[in-house]
Amino acid sequence: MLQVKGATKYFGGLVAVSNVDLSVGKGEIVGLIGPNGAGKTTMFNLISGNLCLDKGEINFKDNKISGLDSYQICRMGIARTFQSVKVFSHMSVLENVLLAILFGRLKSTSKADANIEAEELLEFVGLKDVSTCPAGELTMINQKRLELARAMATDPELLLLDEFMAGLTPAEVSDAMELVRSIRDRGITILMVEHVMKVIMNICERIIVFNYGEKISEGTPEEIANDENVVEIYLGEKGNNYAAN
């Protein structure tokens, strides 16, 4: 579904993403991990068109998307959430989702249908009771839920989640994991950046590891937990625990 070939992005003299090849197949949940500054968010920004590649190419469903604007990529079926949440804070929760339905899709939707769909999505993420609140007044977890509903509202085939679980309590993480699984059960493919290893190891079928902008490893959770290089660079002793589990 998604194919990244030789992706490279410089920020001045810094290579944030360096000659990366990766692919995501339809229906997969793929994890993208690595230390702070490894280039994970930059990779998401390149896929979603928030940043332009310096070298390489990105294809989605056999169409070249690198070079397109982010709104075009969104309408082709790739939606994302942001590591630092970006809701439209002065608009209501419902309006945030309506905006995505009305402007983030290729197909047009009537205002009446959009309202019904927005209500359904807010119920799905657990925000139905706060639909009239200004988005900026929501708690952090609820703003994250809203970003998820807004991304879903563009009717994506591929969803990019950037540290969706960061800052959540263990109980909230369990709920969020269920939510991610139920999104996949709706037929949406997921590529997720996450530092919460419990989530990555439990949810993902395949994991890609970045370090200093390069892809250094790729495999099943078990393979990654047993990869000495990944354990040394990123997982530390925790890696042994995951391997044992």
Ligand X SMILES: Nc1ncnc2c1ncn2[C@@H]1O[C@H](COP(=O)(O)OP(=O)(O)OP(=O)(O)O)[C@@H](O)[C@H]1O
List residues near ligand X by CB under 6 A: 11, 14, 16, 34, 36-42, 83
* Bridge-based pairing state of the strands 78-80 and 158-162: parallel
Q: Which does 217 bind (CB under 5 to 8 A by kind): ligand X, Mg ion, none?
A: none
Nearer to ligand X, 14 or 52 (CB): 14
Q: Which does 34 bind (CB under 5 to 8 A by kind): Mg ion, ligand X, none?
A: ligand X
Paired tokens of 173:
């993480």
Nearer to ligand X, 34 or 56 (CB): 34
Least Å distance, CB 238 to ligand X, is 16
Q: Measured between alpha carbons, how far is 240 from 222 in angstroms, rounded to an integer?
A: 10
Q: What is the DSSP letter of 98?
A: H
Nearer to ligand X, 14 or 116 (CB): 14
Q: What is the DSSP letter of 48?
A: T
Nearer to Mg ion, 50 or 83 (CB): 83
Least Å distance, CB 116 to ligand X, is 36
Nearer to ligand X, 41 or 142 (CB): 41
Closest to 24 measured CA to CA, from 53, 71, 60? 60
For residues 132 and 111, is the Cβ–Cβ distance under 8 A? no
Paired tokens of 164:
């969706």
Q: Which does 37 bind (CB under 5 to 8 A by kind): Mg ion, ligand X, none?
A: ligand X
Segment contacting Mg ion by CB under 5 A, of 15-23, 41-49, 149-157, 204-212: 41-49
Nearer to Mg ion, 130 or 193 (CB): 193
CB atoms within 10 A of CB 24: 22
Least Å distance, CB 243 to ligand X, is 23
Closest to 97 measured CA to CA, from 87, 107, 110, 106? 87
Q: What is the DSSP letter of 83?
A: S
Q: What is the DSSP letter of 241?
A: H
Phi and psi, residue 23, nearest 5°: -140, 155
Q: Which does 38 bind (CB under 5 to 8 A by kind): Mg ion, ligand X, none?
A: ligand X
Contact call for residue 41 and Mg ion (CB under 5 A): yes
Q: Which residues bind Mg ion (CB under 5 A)?
A: 40-41, 83
